C-alpha cells in the first residue's frame, strides 16, 4: 500500500519529544497515515484512530500502543554496527513505545484485508491516567450488541523482546490511614499515638494474602511507599497515613482488594482505627489480565515471532482491552537488560532488526487471523 519505512519513521518519532505534550507526536502520526491515503480520526480523548476494512465480513483485530513518554526527554542517537539492520536506535520512546508503534504501523500498511477489519488505536496518555484508552468506543460495547466495532483480538505494542505476553499484573494505589487521639507529648498515656499504631499495621501488611500465588504471575505484592503523620513536635499524633502500591494478580479487582485489606488490618489491631482508601482516578485502575495460552491469538503470534509465551513485567492498557477480547502485549525492545533499566531509563534503546521482526510477526498474524 505504501513505501513506509518503519526505521525512518522511528528515527523521526524519537527526535519528537512527547513527555510533556503529545501534540507534535500525534501530528507526525496523523500525517504519516494520511500521506499513505488512510483516513484518520482524532477522537475527543485524543486517540488516533484508523482502520482498514475488507470487502467481506470477518474478524476485527485492534492494534494498539501509545505515543506519550515519561520524562525527561532523551535525545536520539543511532549506533551503526555493520549492516543497518544491526544498528541500535537510542532515545526516549525508542522502545516504550515508539519502536512498537513503528512495527505496528508497518504491519498495518502492509496488510490488505480481503475480509474483516484491522483498527489502529493509538492512545495519548498510557504513562499517566489512560483517559484515552478508557474512552475508546469498543471498550464500552457489549459483546452481544452486534456492533462491528467489537474486537476479536487485540495486540498491544510494548517492549517484550518479541515474546508474546498473555498476562500481566495490575496496579492499584491506595492509602492506609491510622487514627488515634491527640494528647500533650508530656502525657502520652492520655492519648492514642497513631504513629505507634503503625507498627502492628505494617506488620499485618506482610501477612495479607501471603499464601496466594498465580501459576504464571506468581504472588501479588503489597508495598508501603510513602508515609506522613503528626502536626506538632510536642503533641501525640492523632492521625498518620501511608501510601500502598499493590501489584495484583487475576482475578482480583480494586474494590475487592480495598475491602479485604481493610478488614485484615482492622482484625490485626485494636488500639487504633484503620481505614483503607483507593487513590482517586477518573479512569479504572489497570487490573491484572490473562489470556489463555492456547488461544488462537497467542498461538499464532508466538508461531510468527518465535518468541516465548510469558507474562509481561508491568501494568499496561492491555488491562482495559482484555475485558472485551483476547489480548496480548508484544513488541521490540526490553524493559531492562543485564546492565539495568532500558525503558524509562537514560539508556533507552531498541534494535533495528527487532523492529522489523516485530512488524513481520504482526503482519503474519493478521494474515492468519483476518485474511
The Cα 247–Cα 2 span in angstroms is 42
Please say if 126 is a catalytic residue.
yes
**In which residue are the cell numbers 495519548 written?**
124
Q: What are phi and psi of 294, to 5 degrees?
A: -95, 10
Which of 51, 68, 161, 354 is an active site residue? Answer: 68
> Length of the chain, please?
371
Q: How many helices (H) and strands (E) does the chain have?
A: 9, 20
- Residue in 51, 126, 163, 354 annotated catalytic: 126
Give the residues across from 56 on adjacent strands: 115
Reduce the DSSP state of residue 72 to 3 states and report it.
coil
Q: Which residue has cell 512488524?
A: 359
- Residue 68 among the catalytic residues: yes
List the beta strands (DSSP E) in the chain: 40-42, 48-53, 56-66, 77-79, 88-90, 115-123, 153-157, 164-168, 170-179, 183-184, 221-229, 235-236, 239-248, 273-278, 289-290, 309-312, 327-330, 336-337, 340-341, 349-351
C-alpha 90/C-alpha 14 separation (Å) is 8
- Which residues does the annotation mark as catalytic? 68, 126
Amino acid at each position: 500500500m505504501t513505501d513506509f519505512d518503519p526505521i525512518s519513521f522511528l528515527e523521526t518519532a524519537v527526535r519528537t519529544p512527547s513527555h510533556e505534550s503529545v501534540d507534535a507526536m500525534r501530528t507526525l502520526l496523523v500525517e504519516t497515515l494520511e500521506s499513505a491515503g488512510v483516513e484518520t480520526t482524532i477522537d475527543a480523548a485524543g486517540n488516533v484512530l484508523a482502520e482498514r476494512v475488507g470487502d467481506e465480513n470477518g474478524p476485527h483485530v485492534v492494534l494498539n500502543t501509545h505515543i506519550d513518554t515519561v520524562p525527561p526527554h532523551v535525545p536520539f542517537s543511532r549506533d551503526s554496527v555493520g549492516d543497518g539492520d544491526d544498528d541500535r536506535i537510542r532515545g526516549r520512546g525508542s522502545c516504550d513505545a515508539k519502536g512498537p508503534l513503528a512495527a505496528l504501523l508497518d504491519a498495518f500498511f502492509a496488510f490488505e484485508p480481503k475480509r474483516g477489519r484491522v483498527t489502529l488505536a493509538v492512545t495519548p496518555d498510557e504513562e499517566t491516567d489512560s483517559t484515552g484508552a478508557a474512552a475508546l468506543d469498543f471498550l464500552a460495547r457489549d459483546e452481544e450488541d452486534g456492533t462491528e466495532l467489537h474486537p476479536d483480538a487485540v495486540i498491544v505494542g510494548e517492549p517484550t523482546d518479541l515474546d508474546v505476553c498473555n498476562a500481566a499484573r495490575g496496579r492499584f494505589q491506595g492509602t492506609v490511614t491510622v487514627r488515634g487521639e491527640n494528647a500533650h507529648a508530656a502525657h502520652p498515656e492520655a492519648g492514642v499515638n497513631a504513629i505507634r499504631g503503625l507498627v502492628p499495621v505494617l506488620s499485618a501488611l506482610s501477612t495479607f494474602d501471603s499464601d496466594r500465588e498465580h501459576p504464571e504471575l506468581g504472588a501479588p505484592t503489597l508495598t508501603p511507599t510513602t508515609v506522613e503523620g503528626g502536626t506538632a513536635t510536642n503533641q501525640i499524633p492523632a492521625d498518620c497515613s501511608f501510601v500502598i502500591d499493590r501489584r495484583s494478580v487475576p482475578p482480583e479487582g480494586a474494590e475487592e482488594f480495598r475491602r479485604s485489606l481493610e478488614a485484615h488490618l482492622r482484625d490485626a489491631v485494636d488500639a487504633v482505627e484503620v481505614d483503607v482508601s483507593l487513590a482517586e482516578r477518573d479512569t479504572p485502575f489497570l487490573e491484572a489480565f490473562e489470556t489463555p495460552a492456547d488461544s488462537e491469538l497467542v498461538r499464532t503470534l508466538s508461531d510468527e515471532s518465535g518468541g516465548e509465551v510469558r507474562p509481561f513485567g508491568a501494568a499496561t492498557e492491555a488491562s482495559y482491552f482484555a475485558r472485551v477480547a483476547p489480548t496480548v502485549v508484544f513488541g521490540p525492545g526490553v524493559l531492562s537488560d543485564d546492565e539495568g533499566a532500558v525503558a524509562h531509563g537514560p539508556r533507552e534503546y531498541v534494535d533495528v532488526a527487532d523492529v522489523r521482526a516485530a512488524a513481520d510477526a504482526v503482519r503474519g498474524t493478521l494474515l492468519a487471523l483476518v485474511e
